[in-house]
Structure 1
Amino acid sequence: MNQKLQARAFERVASILQPGEQPVTATRAMVGSFSAGRLGTVVSQGLITAGAGAVGHALSRTKKQFVVLTDRRLIFLPQTFLGGPGTGVLGEVPREHVALAEAKMGIVSLLRLAFGDAGDGVTLTFPRVDKKNAEALAAALAPVPTA
């Protein structure tokens, strides 16, 4: 993804950012829920809606999304027909409730994000053209090692 799309995504969320909140990275992705039994987790629409608020509800309607990670939250935007960030927020999850559960990089890259302790989360799938964006998002969400 080029820098223009990322800059446009940052512009789309600028009006909803809290004072001092900074965008970290943005990328387009196919968004889905964890499949039953994956990583020992069973996710139903009810759990997603209860654990992640509007994100779970949005997942059932919109697969192609734009994901913006800030220093405080993960924000989901619709994706336009041409693949850019759309207007309006589909959902958001506080950063402290988002954990990188799994990352697989390849021709099709995959990130599994867990939301809190309720066992819910999302799977983000990236085509080859967006592999660097998947890597950047994974790096930003990776836990900081404690020494």
Structure 2
Amino acid sequence: MQQKLQTRAFEQVAPILQPGEQPLVATRAMVGKFSAGRLGTVVSQAVIVEGGGLLGAALASTGKQFVVLTNHRLIFLSQTFLGGPGKNVLGEVPREQLSLVEVKMGIVSLLRLSFGTPGDGVALSFPRVDKKNAESLAEALQQAPIA
């Protein structure tokens, strides 16, 4: 089932890919606030979208999304009612501004991503059924971007 959803996500982003850009991993995730630590202090968040606007708060407030990692950027898509990738691009972050800050794998897996400026980013959480997807995304994020 995941392979089918990933293929559909790749098809959704195909029209907006730049020359030489290749999709690597796609998965559904709950997008939430980037927490600064165990005390739960919420710090600012930001996502660079086409046109240079900031919309981290909007990304975190929409919750369930589909994320597609390419060799150039991380793209946030809406999620359909049935959990598949939607057509709306909610935001994107260039790979050179993206770093994996924390990985926690368990019943609910968590990836914290930082965007360029310290303290900016989002937390991606994955239910148990999507644990393998979280592991694939974490592995791909730890690899250097391919030009």
TM category (shorter chain) comes to 0.7 to 0.9
Aligned to 1:105: 105
The total of aligned residue pairs comes to 141
Equivalence map 1:35-50=2 (5 Å):
35=35, 37-38=36-37, 43-44=43-44, 47-48=45-46
Q: CA deviation at 1:58?
A: 2.8
Q: Percent identity?
A: 70
Backbone CA RMSD of aligned residues: 2.3
Are positions 1:15 and 2:27 aligned together?
A: no
**Structure 1 residue 55: deviation in Å?**
4.2
Aligned residues of 2:47 and 2:91 also touching (Cα < 8 A): no
Cα-to-partner distance string for 1:71-101 (whole Å, 9 max, x where unaligned): 0000000000100000120000000111000
TM-score by length of 1: 0.86
- 2:100 is paired with a residue whose SS is strand
Q: Is the 8 A contact 2:10 2:68 kept in 1?
A: yes
Amino acid at match of 2:96: E
Which stretches in structure 2 are left out of the alignment for 5+ residues?
Answer: none
Deviation at 1:49, TM superposition (A): 5.8
What do residues 38-81 of structure 1 show as CA deviations (whole Å, max 9, x unaligned)? Answer: 2797523xx52689844414324410000000000000000001
TM-score (norm 2): 0.86
Question: Which letter maps to 1:14?
Answer: A
Give SS of 1:48's match.
coil
